[in-house]
């Protein structure tokens, strides 16, 4: 056996071993919907595609317009859609908190599954928000290596602290208030709720990206996606 | 180029194997559990001191020598100020008996808490706390907390702590759902889901509770 062939076999085993280690959502966190719970109106999704320019979303307005356009494309354009993104106090501008932008809830995914009842439930409980329920506007899963997908999109940009508020402006965590595609970082959450292959990550504030370029977002497992909520 | 990629896979495989081994040999000490048994008198726990002692003795029985506190609030009453559960449990991180990270810190515990569920919120012996919605024969999913979602005491005159954990009949206790289910739908708070019907063992049992509570290592 040549060295190359031998290494191929080792690599093959490594891949097998890692696929055997594909994470499992705890059964109690899966989408379970009993007969007591009526499906609700579509009011939550993760963008199926990013804007394509890294952390430059054209500010909050650009991000909101992206949410609105994606929702409209699936027939839900009659609602007011808002991106779950914070901006930081900067150049005399006051900070904007993501949690103050999205209405009061309850919010449901495209299948009518309830993501959260209220702002309090979204931030203190959020047990219903995970890979299975946090779908895009078309009802598709968002890529997660931990869940066995080929493409990682799990870093969802928020620019927010765990309570949904803006972060300290001393460090840029909002890609220059969503106008930068190079300098800065984007604080991101994990829609699949995994830290690598271990369950238990924050949906909205897990870590910062490595930069604001599309490549910088990709480097830590992101694709420039963000959460959209119907505010009305 | 192809060879280079394959070599990297082989090496990263070695690295990850040694990483997994290191994790196995250095399992963090237990810092979180749900009491395996209740105290036998409904929501009368002998106050916070009695509840803490219960945590401590259950932990010591499985070989822990850490300092333990119950995750329970008390309400302002008879000139005594309220006590917040979140202020009693140290600052984390807290791991369950199997070394799974339950929460890194108080913020993570209250705003994330994805790990608090039937799979990981185990007793000090590593046993599952029963959830009827998930097919267990009995329901123990109501966990006593007396707390708001943020881990603070509940204000106002209405009892939410069974008279500061001294009543086994009148009153009510705020409860969380360790299985994170609201009936059979996901989306139940771990620490503040609803009030009990009363404070007796029967009242707790009526909504699928067994007088169990969360214990955290404070050190």
A180-225 pLDDT tens trace: 999 999 999 999 999 988 999 999 999 999 999 999 999 999 999 9
Q: Are A199 and B120 in contact (CB under 8 A)?
A: yes
pLDDT recorded at residue A34:
66
Mean pLDDT of chain A: 90
- pLDDT 10s digits, B30-79: 999 999 999 999 999 999 999 999 999 999 999 999 999 999 999 999 99
Cα gap B141→B212, rounded to integer Å? 9
**A44-85 pLDDT per residue, tens:** 999 999 999 999 999 999 999 999 999 999 999 999 999 999
Q: Provide, rounded to the nearest whole percent, the portion of chain B with pLDDT above 90.
A: 82
DSSP letter at A165 equals: P
Q: Is B37 on the interface with A (CB under 8 A)?
A: no
User: A7 pLDDT band (50/70/90 cuts)?
Assistant: very low
Quote the pTM value.
0.88
Q: How confident is the model at residue A35 (pLDDT cuts 50, 70, 90)?
A: low
Q: What are B71-106's pLDDT values in tens digits?
A: 999 999 999 999 999 999 999 999 999 999 999 999
- pLDDT higher than threshold 60 for residue A10: no
Q: Do B115 and A199 make contact, defined as CB atoms within 8 angstroms?
A: yes
Residue B6 banded pLDDT, cuts 50, 70, 90: very low
Q: Cβ contact (<8 Å) for A29 and B184? A: no
Q: DSSP readout, chain B?
A: -HHHHHHHHHHHHHHHHHHHHHHHHTPPPP-EEE-SS--SSTT--SHHHHHHHHHHHHHHHTT--S-EEE---B--BTTBPPB-GGGSS-S--EE-TT--EEESSHHHHHHT-TT-STTT--BTTSPPPP-GGGT-SS---EEE--B-TTSPBPPSSS-SBHHHHT-SSSS-BEEEETT-EETTEE---SS-SEE-S-SSHHHHHHTTEEEEEEEEE--
Among B180, B110, B112, residue whose Cα is nearest residue B150: B110
Q: Is the pLDDT of residue A97 over 60?
A: yes
With 60 as the cut, is the pLDDT of residue A96 above it?
A: yes
Tell whether A154 is within 8 A of chain B (Cβ).
no
- Token pair for residue A128? 């219903």
Average pLDDT over every residue of A139-161:
96
| pLDDT of A17 over the 90 cut | no
B-chain residues within 8 Å CB-CB of A13? 13
Residues B170-183: what's their mean pLDDT? 94
- Tally A–B CB contacts below 8 A: 135
Average pLDDT, chain B: 90
Determine whether the interchain pair A124/B108 forms a contact, defined as Cβ–Cβ distance below 8 Å: no
pLDDT, position A28: 72
**Contact call for A127 and B188, based on CB within 8 A:** yes
> How high is the pLDDT of residue A29?
77
The predicted pLDDT at position A21 comes to 54
The SS3 call for residue A13 is helix
Q: Hey, is the C-beta of A149 within 8 angstroms of any chain B C-beta?
A: no
**What pLDDT does B186 receive?**
87
B101 touching A, CB under 8 A? Answer: yes
Query: If contacts are CB pairs under 8 Å, which of residues 65-94 in chain A contact chain B?
Result: none
Candidate from A15, A117, A163 with C-beta closest to B187: A117
Looking at residue B8, what is its pLDDT? 37
A77-81, A180-184, B8-12, B167-171: least confident range: B8-12
Which DSSP category does A7 fall into?
A: H
Q: Indicate yes or no: CB of B120 within 8 angstroms of CB of A15.
A: no
CA distance B161 to chain A (A): 21
| Structure-token pair, residue A55 | 């952390």
Q: How large is the ipTM?
A: 0.87
Record: contact A125-B188, CB cut-off 8 A: yes
The DSSP 8-state label assigned to residue A100 in this structure reads: G
Chain B hits for A9, Cβ within 8 Å: none
Under the banding of pLDDT at 50, 70 and 90, the label for residue B25 is low
Provide, as residue numbers in chain A, all residues whose Cβ is less than 8 Å from the Cβ of B114: 29, 126-127, 130, 193, 199-203
Residues 95-114 of A with CB under 8 A from B: 114
CB contact under 8 A, A162 and B107: yes
């Amino acid at each position: 056996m040549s060295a190359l062939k031998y290494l191929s076999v080792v690599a093959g085993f490594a891949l097998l071993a890692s696929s055997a280690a594909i994470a499992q959502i705890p059964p109690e966190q899966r989408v379970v919907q009993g007969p007591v719970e009526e499906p609700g109106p579509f009011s939550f999704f993760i963008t199926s595609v990013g804007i394509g320019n890294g952390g430059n979303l054209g500010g909050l307005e650009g991000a909101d317009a992206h949410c609105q356009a994606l929702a409209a494309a699936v027939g839900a354009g009659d609602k007011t859609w808002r991106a779950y993104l914070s901006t930081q106090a900067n150049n005399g501008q006051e900070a904007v908190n993501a949690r103050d932008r999205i209405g009061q809830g309850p919010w449901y995914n495209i299948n009518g599954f309830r993501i959260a009842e209220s702002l309090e439930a979204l931030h203190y409980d959020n047990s219903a928000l995970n890979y299975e329920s946090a779908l895009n506007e078309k009802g598709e899963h968002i890529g997660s290596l931990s869940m066995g997908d080929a493409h990682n999109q799990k870093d969802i940009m928020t620019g927010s602290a765990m309570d949904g508020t803006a972060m300290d402006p001393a460090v840029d965590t909002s890609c220059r208030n969503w106008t930068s595609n190079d300098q800065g970082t984007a604080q991101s959450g994990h829609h699949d709720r995994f830290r690598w292959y271990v369950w238990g990550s924050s949906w909205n504030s897990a870590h910062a990206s490595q930069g604001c370029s599309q490549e910088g977002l990709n480097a830590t497992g992101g694709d420039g996606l963000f959460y959209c909520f119907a505010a009305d | 180029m192809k060879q280079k990629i394959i070599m990297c896979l082989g090496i990263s495989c070695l690295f990850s194997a040694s990483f997994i081994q290191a994790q196995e040999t250095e399992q963090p000490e237990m810092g979180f559990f749900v009491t395996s048994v209740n105290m036998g008198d409904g929501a009368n726990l002998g106050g916070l001191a009695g509840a803490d002692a219960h945590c401590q003795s259950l932990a010591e029985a499985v070989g822990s020598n850490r300092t333990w506190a119950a995750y329970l609030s008390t309400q302002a009453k008879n000139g005594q100020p309220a006590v917040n559960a979140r202020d009693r449990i140290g600052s984390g991180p807290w791991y369950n008996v199997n070394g799974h990270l339950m929460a890194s810190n108080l913020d993570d515990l209250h705003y994330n808490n994805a790990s608090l569920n039937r799979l990981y919120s185990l007793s000090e012996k590593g046993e599952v706390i029963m959830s009827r919605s998930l097919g267990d024969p009995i329901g123990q999913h109501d966990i006593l907390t007396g707390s708001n979602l943020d881990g603070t005491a509940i204000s106002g005159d209405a009892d939410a702590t069974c008279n500061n954990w001294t009543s086994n009949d009148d009153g009510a206790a705020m409860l969380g759902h360790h299985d994170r289910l609201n009936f059979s739908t996901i989306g139940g708070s771990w620490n503040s889901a609803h009030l009990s019907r009363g404070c007796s063992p029967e009242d707790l049992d009526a909504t699928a509770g067994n007088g169990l509570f969360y214990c955290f290592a404070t050190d």
